[in-house]
Amino acid sequence: MGIPRLLLTPGEPAGIGPDLAVRIAQHAHGAEIVAVADPDLLRERAHALGLALTLESVDYSAAPRVQAAGTLAIDPVAMPATAQAGVLDARNADYVLATLDRAVDQCQAGVAAALVTGPVHKAVINQAGHRFSGHTGYLAARCDSQPPVMMLTTDDASLRVCLATVHMPLSEVPGAIRFDELGQCIDTIHQQLIARFGLDRPRILVAGLNPHAGEAGYLGREEIDTIAPAIEAARERGIDAIGPLPADTLFTPDRLADADAVLAMYHDQGLPVIKHLGFSRTVNVSLGLPIVRTSVDHGTALALAGTEHVNTGSLEAALKIAADMAQAEHGA
């Protein structure tokens, strides 16, 4: 596909998202990175950080160009209120959503290869009157797509961890693990590993819910009643799914040696492992959306906004994974 064009939404303007956009512009990239943002916000943050920044209006009708050091392409979206680093302002919540809407429109129009999102602040968006549970649900609704699967991976894709359930109380997890939904989740992972990661026959390791994967029913029946039947049905569809496996031994090197992804049953079963492996280079990937979308795997870090203590590692990894996924999808 040649040079990919990656859209970057910096997210919450009071957080470190604008800092990240300014900082990644300081060195050259092999992709064209387009910030969908308020140009005055980026200029002000660059000035506060003492960094040079030249913004160039994006031309979606032209072929993407590699990013030169010190420059950043911009698709301008006006912000209603001036942002102060570290200070939330609900007046800018609509702006945050407008940047996402603009980026989705351009990706769906085919003029951009992928969307990379910076951190948003869910509470302030809800305070502004929007029901917002996070990027993933918002983008799924905006794209009118099936529920996506959250996957976290590292910049080298040495480990990919997917989640059957995401942000819910632990007490609600058992009831949320159902045969049909789990089967759809496995299908999505299988299809996306082929389409966007270039794997011919991906192997998916599926964790059990209970300790020791239920110990043959003595520690819970979810594995017997739901998880194992869903895995067997997936195997009958030609998917190389293995499990249910005890989570405490699933992440050992021997188990992972021939695995392409792990499906964990709940948030804190799988994510502590991958974040321990490499927190500053971990990437959030939405599997199953009609567009390629990756994200940093950290929050707005309001206390760090406008300071020298911002790490761009997760954003750099998100840009790399987005470019790799887009190129795999287009057969590059």
H helix count then E strand count, the chain = 13, 12
Q: How confident is the model at residue 280 (pLDDT cuts 50, 70, 90)?
A: confident
The better pLDDT of the pair 51, 158 is held by: 51
Residues 18 and 52 in one domain: yes
Residues 234 and 328 in one domain: no
Query: Could you give the CA distance from residue 31 to residue 28 in angstroms, rounded to a whole number?
Result: 9
pLDDT of 82-96, one tens digit each? Answer: 999 999 999 999 999
* The predicted structure's pLDDT at residue 156: 80
* Residue indicated by tokens 């390629």: 292
Is the predicted pLDDT of residue 42 greater than 90, yes or no? Answer: yes
Is the predicted pLDDT of residue 328 greater than 90, yes or no? Answer: no
Is the predicted pLDDT of residue 215 greater than 60, yes or no? Answer: yes
Q: What is the pTM of this model?
A: 0.92
Query: Could you give the CA distance from residue 270 to residue 205 in angstroms, rounded to a whole number?
Result: 12
* The predicted structure's pLDDT at residue 311: 92
Mean pLDDT of the chain: 94
DSSP 153-211: EETT-S-EEEESS-SS-GGGHHHH--HHHHHHHHHHHHHHHHHHH--SS-EEEEE-SSG
Cβ burial of 298 (10 Å; 0-12, 13-18, 19+) is: buried
- Rounded average pLDDT over 189-216: 96
Residues 231 and 219 in one domain: yes
Residues 23 and 128 in one domain: yes
CATH code: domain of residue 277: 3.40.718.10
Q: How many domains does the chain contain in total?
A: 2
Query: Could you give the CA distance from residue 183 to residue 245 in angstroms, rounded to a whole number?
Result: 16
* The predicted structure's pLDDT at residue 162: 97
Q: Which of 247, 269, 285 is the last residue of a domain?
A: 285
- List the single range of 112-126, 141-155, 183-197 with lowest mean pLDDT: 141-155
Residues 10 and 139 in one domain: yes
Peptide bond into 244 cis (omega under 30): yes
Is the predicted pLDDT of residue 49 greater than 90, yes or no? Answer: yes
Residues 306 and 212 in one domain: no
* The predicted structure's pLDDT at residue 257: 92
Is the predicted pLDDT of residue 331 greater than 70, yes or no? Answer: no
Residues 100 and 5 in one domain: yes
Percent of the chain residues topping a pLDDT of 70: 99
Q: Which domain holds residue 217?
A: 148-285
- Rounded average pLDDT over 35-64: 97
Query: Could you give the CA distance from residue 255 to residue 199 in angstroms, rounded to a whole number?
Result: 19
Residues 180 and 251 in one domain: yes
* The predicted structure's pLDDT at residue 255: 93
Residues 274 and 299 in one domain: no
Residues 130 and 81 in one domain: yes
Query: Could you give the CA distance from residue 277 to residue 160 in angstroms, rounded to a whole number?
Result: 11
Residues 178 and 247 in one domain: yes
The type of residue at 59 is D
Residues 275 and 295 in one domain: no
pLDDT of 138-177, one tens digit each? Answer: 999 999 998 899 999 987 878 999 999 988 999 999 999 9
Is the predicted pLDDT of residue 28 greater than 90, yes or no? Answer: yes
